Amino acid sequence: MIFELLRTHKVDVLRYLPKFLANDGTFKDVQDALSTEHENLRLTIIDIARQFFVETATWGLADWERIYDLPSVGGLAERRAALLQKIRARDTITKSRMQALIDNIVWTHDATFVENVAPGVFRIDMETIIALEELRSVVDFYKPAHLTYVIAHSFLVKGDLYVGGSVSELDIETINPAVDEDISIDTATLYFGGAISVFEISYIGGNNESI
């Protein structure tokens, strides 16, 4: 935020007076004293204006914390972050709002909010697993009470993926044709069905490979 308040430079009232007046030492001293007081007032007004915004408040954070019933813990950055999170809780938690909350916690910004992965369930995909406890605390605090969620380790790789398997159970169904029908196996279309009950991926790589 920019707090210009009429002027952005240090106050010097002699700038508005004829230059020859500064040749009088006594007059100049008086004007310099006035300039100092005027500058102090200008800076004080700017400082007070900063306290009306959490992002720039310093000594005014104590009043913000009192209003939102938060303890004064940590430095200015931590206190501001805690206040902003509490204030945002009053807004409707949308997908973009939840993503913003996640980005505030996961400083690598590689965590993604994915909604509706199942009825009443959303997922948070994380490439870098950091700040899990803090992330869970924030998500639990802000998410709607009727929703649950999972945190998944998701990452991108470049390479070939091979999938192998073996048959552990096999059922063979015999379908007999009707008495008056003749079915030729040679021209029939056969369909096979199956289901995967256990799935496991193992990574095998050399010392110079990474995932």
Task: Give the per-residue pLDDT at 208.
Answer: 44
Considering the domain architecture, whether residues 74 and 137 belong to the same structural domain is answered as: yes
The answer to whether 78 and 71 are in contact (CB under 8 A) is no
Rounded to whole angstroms, the Cα distance separating 137 from 107 reads: 16
Considering the domain architecture, whether residues 101 and 134 belong to the same structural domain is answered as: yes
Domain count, the chain: 2
Considering the domain architecture, whether residues 27 and 99 belong to the same structural domain is answered as: no
- Token digits of residue 16: 């508005």
Q: What domain range includes position 104?
A: 64-153
Domain assignment of residue 80, yes or no: yes
CB under 8 Å to 38, separation ≥6 — which residues?
A: 11, 13
Considering the domain architecture, whether residues 35 and 72 belong to the same structural domain is answered as: no
Q: Helical H runs in 54-162?
A: 61-67, 76-88, 95-105, 132-142
Considering the domain architecture, whether residues 75 and 44 belong to the same structural domain is answered as: no
Considering the domain architecture, whether residues 78 and 40 belong to the same structural domain is answered as: no
Domain assignment of residue 169, yes or no: no
Give the residue from 153, 171, 201 where a domain finishes: 153
Considering the domain architecture, whether residues 28 and 93 belong to the same structural domain is answered as: no
Domain assignment of residue 207, yes or no: no
Distance of CA 59 to CAs 48, 49, 102, 145, 205, Å? 9, 12, 28, 35, 55
The per-residue pLDDT string of the chain (211 residues; one tens digit each, 9 = 90 and over) reads 666 666 778 888 888 899 898 899 999 999 999 999 998 988 898 899 999 999 999 999 999 999 888 888 889 988 998 888 777 765 677 888 889 888 888 888 889 999 888 888 999 998 888 888 888 988 888 888 788 999 988 766 777 777 777 777 777 777 776 666 666 666 667 666 677 666 666 555 544 443 3
- CA dihedral sign, ordered 96, 100, 103, 105: negative
Task: Give the per-residue pLDDT at 211.
Answer: 38
